[in-house]
Structure 1
Amino acid sequence: MEKSKKMAALILATMLAVSSSSAMAVTVLAEEDTAVAYSSSDTESWSEYDYQILDDGTIEIIYYYGCDEVIIIPSEIDGRKVTGIKGFNLSNKENIKSITIPDGVTSIGDSAFSGCRSLTDITIPDSVTSIGCEAFYNCSSLTNITIPDGVTSIEYGTFYDCSSLTNITIPDSVTSIECEAFYNCSSLTNITIPDGVTSIESETFYNCQSLSNIDISNSLISIGMDAFAHCKNLKNIKIPDSVTTIELGAFNDTLWYNNQPDGLLYAGKVLYLYKGEMPENTKITLKNDTSGIADNAFSYCTNLTNIKIPDSVTIIGAWAFFSCPNLTAIEIPSSVIGIGVYALLGCGNLTIYGNIGSYAESYANTNVIPFVDINKKITTLTSKVDNISVNGTFDNGVILNVEKATVENAVKAYNITLKDENGNTIQPNGTITVSIPSDKANCKVYLIKEDGTKVDMNATYNNGNYEFTTDHLSIYALIADTSEPSNEPSNEPSNEPSNGPSNGPSNEQSSTISDSSKSNSDTNNTDSNKTTSETGKNGVETGDSNNLFAMAAMLTGAITAISTIIFKKKRT
């Protein structure tokens, strides 16, 4: 990393110098395998400094090639005021121990003192308003520094790897702290973020292992990825209510995080993470004052099935619900104005419930996720009275009201109604399913009309619940089903054999003729309760016994006729 940053600094310095005047001749100064390009017409030398004259007539020092360990930068050169410092001698930087910057300097350039590993003391005047990226990168012996009041931003990697830095004062003028500004400042113990700062960027305090306390202003809105990751001793941190966005891993491997119990973990009012193993079939309703959902908050929560987000949330972070394959329903309110990348990727069974015209609907359409108007969501309402429930589409604020009723001969009876948010009794706005728990399995459910008549609801009994559908709620009664098979004579022929021997034709007699392959004893042993189809596939039922005699008479006549013909032929 150090080597790559050195190279980047060298390339940047080269590009800046070359770009100053593309039409002018260039002189290259090389020293110990380093090369920095300057314009021969713009660059001038004085003592051990190379400098350029700026448009306003002031001087910017672009190179110091001396060998001193203690450096006092001049305030003027040739009568011109020094206002900027661009860079120092790359060959001698590791020997520099002390630097004094004169009053009047307003800017310290990118990588100006980068790699000055022996630097222990630096004086920065109040006139400085700008400190560039990686200005003190890898100044590993620097212990203290005071940033002037005029500085508004601590840039990328400004104090990266200042491993001996124990104390730093950030003025109220600072409004932003950029990525990796204090990366691996492993000796830093305390820090106060001023009121003007609205964001702490990615890895700002990464691996500040001695940092134990941090005071964050009430103006902070966002905390970047890994901002405090691996600050192993950070145990006291108060996240203000103003924070709405926390990115991935912001507090990973900190004492604050490690000491938190399993379950929903909040950082301020942001749902930071679900910590630990989630139970099966988990349904979650977030707190009403939740302001945001952090990056990665529920990623890989395979047991999450349903979540309701309150209308106080404005941001859902990246990867928030990544790879939650059993998440089937998420309620996203109209207050949400941003959903991070891959927030719902890997939720293949998901339906988004939200308001028509909301950001949630637009997000669902863009990402081809089923969307349902939240006002038409199928909801289950359950009463405390015997756990009776109704399932259907209800307007917001509707509640189920159940009162026990008295109906003659009923096992139980209930007056089941719906109440709107004003307490008025209303009817369903469509078909709903009613479920009435009972341990009595032999009942029918009846609707009791105002005139006392009963209407069978054709309820089914499943898992200890009577269930039926209706679009009108009223009084319902569970009445024991005492109905028995009808004793009225049937028009269908009887399958029972006669109780006594047949002595002749009878209108009540029926018989079963078995297949010829069956013996008489088999036929006589047939169970009297079996139907014809049960006693033999080839068995047929006879009709009235009079028909049998008619058939016998016809058969006798036919035999007589045949016998007469044969007799006559023999005689002839």
Structure 2
Amino acid sequence: MNHKKWVVALALIATALILTHLPVSEADAAASASDFQIEGSTLTKYRGSDERVTIPDTVEVVGESAFENNQKVQFVVVPKSVKRLDAYVFWGCNNLEEVVLGKGLTSVDEYAFSGCTGLKQITIPENVQSIDVQAFAGCTNLTDIYIPDTVTSIADDAFLNCDNVTIHADEGSVAEKFAQKLAEQKSQSPLVTAAPTATPAADGTSDSQATTEPAPTETPTPAPTPVPGNVLGSTFVVGNHAMVMMLPEEETVQQGYTEPVAGQETDGEPQDITAETEDGKIPEWKYYRNQSVGAVSIPEGTTEIGRFAFSRSSVQSITLPEGVTTIDYAAFYHCDDLSSVILPDTVTRVEAKAFTHTGWMDDFEENSMDDYLISGDILVAYKGDLPEVTIPDGVRVIADEVFRSHTELKKVHLPASVTNIGDSAFPEGIEIINE
């Protein structure tokens, strides 16, 4: 690991350390305790109106939308007990200016800080491994963020419309490469008036930057009217492939970040359904956050399950027919009730986070005695910690990012049965041996 830090990063970290040690009186703690709705170790909702909030150190997960649209909060301390920030945690908290993240954090989920227009600087602590889709999208005043080399996965649209952000990263890290790629993309955009430049840090090291001059805009109004279709699409990276998701015309765009409308927050008693397809594909976002789906049958002739197609829905079981070849990025992400999956042997690609936080995956991680999760001859997940592994014989496909966060891994033995390996399936620099 490169331990050189830049001046801004050091300043942010120093501020975080000071702030996390500020004393809180017992009276203040008691007075604010009732503001936190906590179930088990998950903070499900903050109901207070304080400007400065310290999350209790009994919390391990800050749940989905816990602070969403809170217009009072300006400063938040996330203690080291917190391991995960779920989606939409601080969505639309326009007056949030400072967040101190504890070192226990392992991921920042999609849309976690979307629309936090008051946020200017933030340090991602070491131990975080992923920054997900549009996590900081629409943070239009974000100028500096430090991302450590423990982060191995950054969604390409994590900083959508953060036109003034500088990404501070360790040399050779995923974050540095992400910053360089983001700078190249912005330099080619017709909306960018000047190409981003890399400037040396105060200590003489190379500081990877993703800074651009903001595009000329009209004078903002206090309450801008959302304009459907004013964003053509958002770019994302799956492995080594840069792709563009085109947004439907009816989709509403606000504050520089996007949120799909179709199927969103659909409630009702879960019903068994046959999924709708378009040209042999379950469309992207089709059943996203839909809470009225139970058992789902995929029609014959379907070849692809689109990006986020069932993400955060109530789907309980899924029947995938022969002929399905691709399960796109986060297709079943956070389908908590999806307890089992059988993949047909026609599948040749399972993209990153396709089954992350499903009941199926969670059960494997918590209860399985095996280090490998395999279905339909596809290696979907791995939870071991050895420096050298041998992929089980018979495995045909290795899904995207299966081993990517396992930096302890140095050598992998592949059986002859492997025909497809997902992009970024392994961390960089490991030795791969074909048996």
Shorter-chain TM range is: 0.3 to 0.5
Q: Normalising to structure 1: TM-score of the pair?
A: 0.29
Larger CA Rg, structure 1 vs 2 = 1
The TM-score with structure 2 as length reference comes to 0.37
